[in-house]
Amino acid sequence: MSYDIAIIGSGVIGLFIAYELAHYRVRVLVIDREVEPGFGVSKGHAGVIHVVQPPFNSLRSKLAVEGNRMYDDIAERLHVRIRRLSALLVARNLGHLIALPAVWLILNRVYGKHGFRVRIIGPRELHRREPNVNGLGAVEVEGYGVINSFELVSQLYNFCKLNGVDFALGTEVRGAKVLDDEVVILTNRGGEYRAKYVVNAAGLYSADVARLFGDEYRLEFGKGGLCLFSGGANRQGT
């Protein structure tokens, strides 16, 4: 089977790429070893549309701002629920409180020019707005959002399916032959797919996939903490 573009990975990144390509006259295939789209890291997504993404001079930071602006339109077109809200960077001790004006200054300089309002709020307003948060004050950054990430993944998938994108789910890419004018993709199912271009959207496994195509790079992994408050119950995970 021959395609113009094969995308390896049907996480939110692979699906968004397929969604964009579905607007053009190109034959697109998405391959994923999971049996459902978005069953990699994307299934754990908290759905936060970020503004602040340090380091501020990074591509990640630039794309966070550009991507943030695109979400309202995308959510409307795909009928996905989205809610806009602001983020509070809370000063929990005296050290944090002393640093608050400097944090405001930096964030306002970086994000103010992009139209995201940044301001300092005092303990009274903080308590009024978030009675369960213990803090001496906060920097508020407007322009954040929360999107229903399950709806997003399933609607991206539905749009792609309806607009001619093929999916090979439950199919792991195990090897590749790079020829002069196309690439042959070898899978665990014994079959092979041919494509003029291949997009590596394999997330945490993208370096392994790249190696199959003769490209070598290393990913640095990080680990963070996520704390969800819901109806007074507090669930924690990493």
Ligand X SMILES: Cc1cc2nc3c(=O)[nH]c(=O)nc-3n(C[C@H](O)[C@H](O)[C@H](O)COP(=O)(O)OP(=O)(O)OC[C@H]3O[C@@H](n4cnc5c(N)ncnc54)[C@H](O)[C@@H]3O)c2cc1C
- Beta carbon of residue 89, minimum distance to ligand X (angstroms, whole number): 16
Strands (E) in the chain, as ranges, are 2-8, 28-32, 48-49, 82-91, 118-121, 137-147, 166-169, 173-178, 183-187, 192-200, 226-230, 233-237
Restricting to residues 173-202, which ones interact with ligand X according to CB under 6 A? 173, 201-202
Residue 48 CB contacts under 8 Å (≥ 6 apart), including other chains: 144, 145, 146
Minimal distance in Å, beta carbon 86 to ligand X? 15
Q: CB nearest ligand X: which residue?
A: 11
Write the interaction track for ligand X spanning residues 10-29; mark x where CB under 6 A is met and - where it is not. Answer: xxxxx---------------
d(CA 49, CA 138): 20
**Pick from 27, 45, 119, 196: which binds ligand X (CB under 6 A)?**
45
Structure tokens at 216: 């070598």
Does position 130 interact with ligand X (CB under 6 A)? The reply is no
> At a CB cut-off of 8 Å and minimum separation 6, what does 125 contact?
none
Q: Is 48 near ligand X (CB under 6 A)?
A: yes
Does position 101 interact with ligand X (CB under 6 A)? The reply is no
d(CA 145, CA 70): 12
Nearer CB in complex with ligand X: 90/173? 173
Q: Name residues whose C-beta falls within 8 Å of residue 97's C-beta, 6 or more positions apart in sequence.
A: 91, 136, 137
Contact status: 156 vs ligand X (CB under 6 A): no
Q: Does 47 bind ligand X (CB under 6 A)?
A: yes
Is 150 an interacting residue with respect to ligand X (CB under 6 A)? no
Whose Cβ is closer to ligand X: residue 84's or residue 109's?
Answer: 84
What number of other Cβ atoms are within 10 A of residue 47's Cβ?
Answer: 16
Residue 214, by phi and psi: left (phi above 0), alpha (psi -120 to 50) or beta?
A: left
Residue of 42, 68, 86, 155 that binds ligand X (CB under 6 A): 42
User: Which stretch, 32-40, 69-77, 88-96, 132-140, contacts ligand X (CB under 6 A)?
Assistant: 32-40
| Residue that the structure tokens 């020019």 belong to | 113
Distance CA 180, CA 110 (A): 45
Least distance to ligand X, CB of residue 95, Å: 27
Residue placing its CB nearer to ligand X in the complex, 104 or 193? 193
Q: Which residues bind ligand X (CB under 6 A)?
A: 8-14, 31-34, 39-42, 44-48, 50, 172-173, 201-205, 209, 226
